């Protein structure tokens, strides 16, 4: 999986064979275990060399990095919406 706008040309197999690279990319791009769908303990075991990341986990990491790189190029609003629209159904308006 290559990233056209960066020098990051890493395949999932590279990450499976080099767990330290997997951990380094997680830290560099701010990917948390929760984002990958694993526990912090699992990432700790990968960091210590007890486990290797699976190919599916490596693919998920590369997809998240690609999304993060894409969002850095675009401007996107992270603040609160200034016009939230109608309030909808209030809990006090419900019968019962």
Q: Which domain holds residue 19?
A: 12-72
**49 found inside a domain:** yes
**95 found inside a domain:** no
**80 found inside a domain:** no
**17 found inside a domain:** yes
pTM across the whole model: 0.66
**85 found inside a domain:** no
**61 found inside a domain:** yes
**39 found inside a domain:** yes
**79 found inside a domain:** no
In 1-96, which residue ranges form alpha helices assigned H by DSSP? 12-17, 19-29, 33-36, 40-48, 55-73
User: Does residue 16 contact residue 54 with C-beta atoms inside 8 Å?
Assistant: yes
Phi-psi region of 88 (alpha: psi -120 to 50; beta: other; left: phi over 0): left
Q: Say what the pLDDT of residue 87 is.
A: 58
What is the domain count for the chain?
1
Per-residue pLDDT tens, the chain, 96 aa: give them. Answer: 444 444 568 889 999 999 999 999 999 999 999 999 999 999 999 999 999 999 999 999 999 998 888 765 445 445 555 555 555 555 555 565
């Amino acid at each position: 999986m290559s990233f056209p706008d960066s020098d990051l040309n890493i395949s999932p197999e590279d990450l499976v064979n080099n767990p330290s690279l997997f951990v380094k990319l997680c830290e560099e791009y701010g990917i948390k275990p929760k984002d990958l769908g694993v526990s912090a303990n699992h990432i700790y075991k990968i960091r210590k060399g007890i486990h290797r990341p699976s190919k599916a986990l490596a693919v998920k990491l590369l997809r998240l990095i690609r999304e993060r790189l894409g969002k850095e190029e675009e401007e996107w609003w992270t603040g609160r919406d200034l016009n939230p629209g109608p309030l909808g159904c209030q809990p006090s308006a419900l019968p019962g």
